[in-house]
Chain A
Amino acid sequence: MILLSKPGTPNRYRFCYRPFVLAAVGFMGMVALGHASVIMNLQPVSDAAGSTGDTFDVTLTNTGPGAITIGGFSFGLSVGTSNLSFTGVSTATTIALYVFDAQSLFGPDISVQPPDLPGQALEAEDISVVPLSGSTIGSGVTEGLGHVTFNLSAATPPGGIQLSFVGADDSLSDPDGEPIDFSTGSGTVTVTGAASIPEPATFGFVGVVLAGLLVCTGGRMRLSHPSCKNAIN
C-alpha cells in the first residue's frame, strides 16, 4: 500500500489528508508490523520511467497511546533494481514536518556516506542538535524522517519497484541514547510509461491516500514544535 505523489504536492494536502494518512498508516502498522507503537514508513510514489528528481518521504508515526520523544533516527533503504537510483536525502520532507525541524544536527543533507550516491542503497541519520534533548511526537502523529530523491531510468519497465528498509540501518533513539522499539513498513515506486495512464483502481487508491495524507499532514501534533502545538490547539 504505497501512495504515489508528485513532488511539491504534500504541503497542499497536509491538513486535509491527515485523517486518511492516519488511517492508512495505522492500518498498515497494525496489520503489517504487529504491535509496535512507532512505525517508520515510506511514502509510496508513482513516477514515469526516465524521470529524474523524483521524491518520496520517509515518515515516522506514533501509533501508541502516549507521546514519545525521539533523540535520533537512522534508516537505510535499498532497491533491487538498478533502474532506480537514490540520489540523496534531506530534511525537506513534504508530507509531514521534519522531525528535527530547526534542531537537526546533520541536516539538511542527512545522507550517510557511504553508500555512494546515486545508487541502489541509501542511508540517512540525524539527531537532535542538543544533546539529551529530542523531538516529542504525540500519539497518532506522523513526522518526516527524510525526503528522498531518486531517478528512474528510461528503461524502467512499468510496474512496481519494491523499496525496503535495510534493517541494520534502521533505528530510533530517545534523547538519552536508549533504543526505541519501532517497526518498519515498505514502499513501492510505481513506474508508469512516459504516456501511461494509471489504472482506475490505482487511481482510486492513490486518491484516497493522498487525501488522507493531506489531512494528516495538516493536522499533526508536534509537541516539540510550536507551530504544531498551535495547530493542535
Chain B
Amino acid sequence: MAQGPTITNVSSTTANGTYGAGSVISVTATFSSTVMVTGTPLLALNSGGTASYASGSGTSTLTFVYTVAAGQNSARLDYTSTTALTLNGGTIMDTANDPANLTLPAPGAAGSLGANKSIVIDTVSPVVTNVSSPTANSTYGVGSVISVTVTFSSSVVVTGTPLLALNSGGTASYSFGSGTNTLTFVYTVAAGQNSARLDYTSTAALTLNGGTITDTAKNAASLTLPSPGAAGSLGANKNIVIDTVSPVVTNVSSTTANGTYGVGSVISVTVTFSSTVVVTGTPLLALNSGGTASYASGSGTSTLTFVYTVAAGQNSARLDYTSTTALTLNGGTITDTAKNAASLTLPSPGATGSLGANKSIVINTTPTVTNVSSTTANGTYGTGSVIIVTVTFSSTVVVAGTPLLALNSGGTASYASGSGTSTLTFVYTVAAGQNSPRLDYTSTTALTLNGGTITDIGNDPASLTLPSPGATGSLGANKSIVINTIGLSVVSYSVIFGTASLTYNVSTNGAARNRLPWLITGVQVVFSAPVGSADANSLTGVTAVGFSGLGTNTLTWTITPISLANVSTALAGSGADAIKDTNGNSLNGGAGFTQHFKVLMGDYNDDGVVNVVDTVGVNTKTVQPYSVFADINGDGVVDSNDVRLTRSLLGSSLP
C-alpha cells in the first residue's frame, strides 16, 4: 500500500496579533506533496473555533479560514490536537489518490500552528472600570477646562470623538488616550453650567458620537459607566464644583465714622460681594468728591476694602461713588474662586446698599481753623511783652497780607509767619491798658483778613471761623495767659528806725507828723504786686547801702542812717533802675513815686527843735502808754534811755 502525503507544517498567513470576534484567520497546512481536496475539511482550533478548508487543492498547501466567533479565545492560537484536521466528508489525497495522512504535528511542537505563529484570539469586550479627573478638586467657573478620564478594563482604540455627558449640563469630549486603557475627555465650562459635584449624567453618558471604542482585538468596548456617585464614578472620585454664577456687589459702606473729613483724611470704603472674590491688581472706585478709592485688602473674602485719602479740592456733601459703574478693574481682576468675573455693577448712588445710603460722610477740604493756641508759656505778661498765638487750620493755607486776630485784652495779634503750612503764627505785643484774666480772642469771628487772604493751595478761601472763645480748641482753653498792664503802685512807704528796726508808714501817716524823731536806717515800700525788677539804686534821695525783697511785694532798702534831714526820696519808674512788676509793668506807669519826709531825731513833740520839752515829754511817756514818737531809740519801749538820748540831742532843729 502506497503512503499518502503527510502534513509537514501548520502555519498562518495572518499576522501575529490579537484577533477578536469576526476576525478571519487563515491557517495553512502544508503537505509533503500535492494534495487534492474534495469537500470542506475542518481544522479544530484551541480557541473553540474551527477553520474550514478554503483553497489549495492541487498544491501541497491547503488554506483554512477561521472566522473568530464570540466566546472563542486562545492565548496562542493552535489546533486542538494532532488529529484536529478532519475531512468532514471530503477527501484529501495526493495525485495518486492516496489519502493524505491527516496527523498534525503535536500542538505547540515544531511545525505546529502554535509554534509557527503567535496569534491570540480574544473575543472579550473592554468595560469601563473607573471615571475620574486629574483636575484638582475645586470650584470652576465659565471657561474652566476640566479633564475627565475614563478607564477601561483593557486598552481601547478610539476613533472619532466620543462624548461624556455631564451633570453640569456640559459635555466632555474625547481628547486623547486611544491605545491605552484610559481615555481623557475635556470639558470646558460654559455659562449657565453648574454642578455641586461634577459627574456624568448616567451609566450611559458615554457615547461614541459616530466613533468607536474597541480593544485591539476589535472588540467594541462596553460603554456602560459606573452609576453616577457610585464607586468608580467621577462624582465618587472627585469633588469638582461647577459654578458659573458671577459674584455681584450687594453693599457698599464704610468703616469710617460718620462725620466731616478734610484734606489728608483717610476714608475706608467697603464693597461687599455676593460671594468670596479674589482680587488681582488695584481696582478703583470713583467717588463723588472727585477722589478715587483704591483697593487695599479683602481678597479671598466677600468684602473688599478700598482706601480713599482726601485731597485738597475734593468735597462732597455726602460721600458716594459716582455711578453704578464706578468700580473699575484698573487692569486687575475681581473674580470668584471659580474664576467667574465678578459683576462690577454697584447699587445706584444713594439707593439702598450704596455708600451714600449707608453712611453720612462729608468731605470738606476747605481749610478750617481746628485749634488756636500759643507757644508762649502760661503766665502773666505786661506791657511790652510779646505773645505768640498759633492758629492751626485743617490743611495747608497760603497767606497774603497781614490778617489780624482780635484779642479779649483789647489788643490785636498780627499775622507773622506760617504761609504754606497748616499753622499760622500771629504776634501780639502787649500795650498799656490791655488786660485779660485769660487771654483769648474776642469771638468766633475775631480772625479777619485785614485786606489780605487766607486760602488753600487751590486758592479757595479758608474758613475763618474760630472755635468759640473758651471752648475746646480755643486759645483760652489751650493756654492760661494773663495780660496785666495795670502796673505797679505803692501801697505804703515806711521808714525803718531804731535798734528794733521798727517801721513807720510815712505815706499814710505823713500828714500827721512833720518830722520823724528817730534815727532812720531804712526804707520799706509795699507795692501792689510782686516786684520783678528793681535794685538798690531804684531809691534815690538817700544813700542806699542794702537792698532786698525782689520777687515779693515788699522792697527794703537799708540806708546810711539819717538823724536830721529834709529828705526827698524817689522810686524810679523808668530807666535802668526802674521798678517793675513781674510782668514788666513799670511803677505807676513809668512815673515812679516820690516821698518826702523830715527827720529830726529827738523831736518828740514835732515842733522843729529838740529841747527840754521833748525830754520831759519823753520822760512822761516812760510812765504812760507806749508812744512810738517817744521811743527815740526805737527799741520798742520808752524808758530812761530814750530820755537821755533825747537830752543828748538838745538844740537840734529842723524847721
Chain A residues proximal to chain B, CB less than 8 Å: 71-74, 76, 105-106, 112-113, 123, 125, 127-128, 131-132, 166, 168-179
Contacts and interface: CB of A to CB of B under 8 A. Distances in A.
Nearest to B619: A131
B611 A175 contact: no
Size class of B's contact patch? 20 to 34
Nearest to B652: A168
Q: DSSP class of A's interface residues: helix, strand, loop or mixed?
A: loop
A177 B620 contact: yes
B648 A113 contact: yes
Interface string B586-630: 000000000000000000110101011111111110110000000
Given A74-B650, A112-B648, A125-B647, A168 B611 contact: yes
B71 interface: no
A178 B613 contact: yes
25 contacts: A72-B612, A72-B613, A72-B619, A74-B650, A105-B643, A106-B644, A112-B647, A127-B615, A127-B643, A131-B623, A132-B623, A166-B651, A168-B609, A168-B611, A168-B652, A169-B611, A169-B651, A171-B611, A172-B612, A173-B613, A173-B615, A174-B616, A177-B604, A177-B617, A178-B613
Contacts of B618: 177
Contacts of B613: 72, 171-173, 177-179
Given A76-B650, A76-B651, A125-B647, A105 B619 contact: yes
B623 to A, nearest CB: 5
A173 B617 contact: yes
Which 6 pairs of residues, A with B, have the shortest CB-CB distance? A177-B617, A171-B611, A74-B612, A173-B616, A72-B612, A72-B616
B622 A72 contact: no
A161 B495 CA distance: 46
Contacts, number: 86
Contacts of B650: 74, 76, 112, 123, 125, 169
Given A74-B611, A168-B609, A176 B648 contact: no
Contacts of B644: 106
A20 to B, nearest CB: 29
Nearest to A110: B647
A140 to B, nearest CB: 23
Given A72-B615, A125-B615, A173-B617, A168 B651 contact: yes
B282 interface: no
Contacts of B250: none
Contacts of A178: 613
Contacts of B615: 72, 74, 125, 127, 173
A73 B619 CA distance: 13
A177 B616 contact: yes
B528 interface: no
Contact of B651 (A73, A123, A127, A175): A123
Contacts of A172: 612-613
Nearest to B630: A177
A148 B652 CA distance: 22
A128 B616 CA distance: 8
B653 to A, nearest CB: 5
Given A125-B650, A172-B613, A177-B617, 8 more contacts: A76-B650, A105-B643, A125-B612, A127-B647, A132-B623, A170-B611, A176-B620, A177-B618
A145 B651 CA distance: 17
Contacts of A179: 605, 607, 613
Interface string B627-655: 00000000000000001100110111100
A70 B623 CA distance: 18
A179 B607 CA distance: 10
A71 B607 CA distance: 18
Contacts of B612: 71-74, 125, 127, 171-173
Contacts of A113: 648
A132 B619 CA distance: 8
B616 A168 contact: no
Among B605, B612, B614, B623, residue most surrounded by chain A Cβ atoms (within 10 Å): B612
